[in-house]
A and B are shown apart, each in its own frame.
Chain A
Amino acid sequence: MRVFEGFKFSKLQTPIHTMDPRAKFAMIMVVFVISLLFTNVLILIIILLAQIPLIWLGRSIRRWGGSMKGGLFLAGLIFFMNLLTGSTFTYSLAMTIRFLALLSSFSIFFMTTSPDDLGLALEQAHVPYSLCFTFTTAVRLVPTMAVDAQTVIDAQRSRGLELDRGNLLKRIRNYIPILIPLIVSAIRRSIELAEALESRAFGLTSKRQPLIVLRMRKSDYFVTLVSVLLLCLAVWASLYAQLPSIEIPFELPRLW
C-alpha cells in the first residue's frame, strides 16, 4: 500500500506543483531517457540523487521515501535476477539504481501533478476528450478506492476474517471477500458517476472550451530548455566522453 502513496497527488503550493505539466513531463522524460542511456553505476547514482532536490522542492520527501521502500521488493528482484543470469555485481547494482531512478521520476510527476491538469494537458495536446476524461477519472478514483478498500477490510474483519493467519494459499483466498465487494463498489460508483455525467450533457459536443487553460510561463519554458540541453549533453557524453567508472569486484560464490 505504501508504494501507492508515492504516486498520489496532494495539493500543495510548491514550484514543482505549479510547473506546467507539459514542462514537467518534458523534464521527467529527459530523466527517463538519460537513465536508459547509461549503464554506468556512478552516473545512475547521480541521476537518482539529482532528483532529490526536486522532490525536496516539491515537499514530498516522506512520501517519496515510502514509494522507494515499497519499490525495494521489485528492486531486489531486479538485482538478483541480473546477478543470477550472469551479470556482474556492478551491472546488477546499476540496473537496480536505474529502476529506482525511473520510479522516482514518475513518482515526482504524479505526486505534483493534479489529474485535472494532466487531463487539461492531454486535451490541449488534442487527445480526444473522452480519452482524457477516462484517464483522469481513473487516476482520481484511486484514493476513493483506497478508502473503500479499507472499509471493506474493516467490515470483513468485523466478521472474523483474519488476514494474517494461515498458509500462503489460505491467505490468498482470504482476499476474495475483499476483492469482490471492492469490485462491486467500483462498478456502482462508476455507474453513479456515469449517470451524473450524462445528466450534465457529457459528450454533447466535441468543441469544448475549458474554463481553465494551461499557459506556459517563462519559468516553464526555461525548465524545458534546460531539460533539452541536459539531454543533448547526456547523449554526447554517452557517445564520446570518458566517464569515471567503478567496478566492484564481488562475485557470487559459484553454486553450480
Chain B
Amino acid sequence: MAIIDIRNLSFSYAGATGPSLSNINLEVEKGEFVVVTGPSGCGKTTLCRCLNGLVPNFYTGELTGEISVCGLDIRRQPTSVLSRHVGLVFQNPENQLFSLTVERDIAFGPENLGLTREETKERVEWALKATGIEDLKDRAPYELSGGQQQRAALASVLAMKPEVMVLDEPTSFLDPRSSLEILGVVAKLNKELGMTVVLVEHRLDLATRHSDRIVVLDKGVVALDGPPRNVYGKQAHLIGIGVPKVTLLFHLLKQDGVKIGKIPVTVEEAEEELRRILAD
C-alpha cells in the first residue's frame, strides 16, 4: 500500500466560503520524492497540514474523503501520534526554533516522545550529522543565518525519525545559495535514508533536479501529476507556475519551429540539447 493514500479528499476551513481542497486523489509510494507546486491559494499548505494531522485537529473544518499516511487515518489519530511518522518543516525558520541552543531544539521532539536521555542524545547527534550542522550544536538559533536555521529546523524534525518528510516552501526566506544547499540536504535524506519526501516549492528551477514527479495544484484540485517533462507544458504555464527558464526557452524554440529532441527540465539536460541543436 502506498505510504500516502489520498482519495477524494475535500476540505473547507471552518467559516470559509469555499473548499480549499476539492476531491484530491494522490498516491505516494515509499521513497518517492514528490514536488508539489501551484499558484498562491491553490491549497498546497492545506495539503501539507492534512498530511500530519494539523488538519483537521489544529485547523478545524469540514473534511470528507479518505486519507491515510503510513497506514494511519489522520482523522482518528492526534497530531502528536502522526508526528512520529510524518515530519513537517515550515516556511519561516524563525518561528520553529525556540530554544537557546540548536542541541536543545533538536532534543525537543524526542523528549516529547518520552524517550530516555540516552536515546534522545543519540537521535540529536544523528540528526546533527545527517543535516551537516554538528558545528552549530551549541549555537543559539537566533544567531544563525536563515539557511543554518532552516537546517536546524529540519534536524529538529528529523530527530523524530519520521518515515515521511513534508516541507512547506522551506526556501521562501532563504537566499539562492542557502536554498540550493537545503534542498541538497533533503535530497540526500531521500537517497540515503529512503525517506519519502513531499516538497512544496515555487522554486522549480532548484527542486526539479531531485524529483521525478511534479504535482500541480490549482484552486484546490490536482491539475497535473507526472514527470517534470510531461508537466512543464503549456497548461502549467497558463496555470502560472514557475517553470524552469531552460524549459521555457526550449518550448519557445520549439514553437519557432526548431527541431527539439527532448524538452530539458534541468540545466544539464539543456546543455546537451543545445549542443545538439547547434551541431546539426
Contacts and interface: CB of A to CB of B under 8 A. Distances in A.
A192 B58 CA distance: 11
Interface stretch (A83-91, A173-181, A205-213): A205-213
A198 B112 contact: no
Chain A facing B: main interface SS: loop
Interface size class of A (residues with CB under 8 A): 20 to 34
Contact of B114 (A189, A207, A212): A207
Interface string B126-148: 00000000000000101000000
A201 to B, nearest CB: 4
B111 A210 contact: yes
B198 interface: no
B84 A201 contact: yes
Given A211-B107, A211-B111, A199 B98 contact: no
Q: Which of B92, B95, B110, B160 has the most CB of A within 10 A?
A: B95
A205 B87 contact: no
A213 B98 CA distance: 18
Interface string A180-195: 0000000001001111
Nearest to B52: A199
A114 B94 CA distance: 18
A197 to B, nearest CB: 8
A211 B157 contact: no
A196 interface: yes
Contacts of B110: 211
B98 A205 contact: no
B114 A205 contact: yes
Interface in B94-137: 94-96, 98-101, 103-104, 107-117, 120-121, 124
Interface of A: 11, 114-116, 137, 140, 143-144, 189, 192-196, 198-205, 207-213
19 contacts: A11-B140, A114-B100, A116-B100, A192-B90, A192-B95, A193-B96, A198-B80, A200-B112, A201-B83, A205-B113, A208-B111, A208-B114, A210-B107, A211-B104, A211-B107, A211-B111, A211-B117, A211-B121, A212-B104
Given A116-B101, A199-B157, A202-B112, 15 more contacts: A11-B100, A115-B100, A140-B98, A189-B95, A193-B96, A198-B54, A198-B57, A199-B54, A200-B108, A201-B160, A205-B112, A207-B114, A208-B114, A209-B111, A213-B117
Q: Which are the 9 A-B pairs with shortest beta-carbon distances?
A: A192-B95, A204-B80, A205-B114, A200-B109, A211-B107, A201-B112, A196-B96, A201-B80, A199-B88
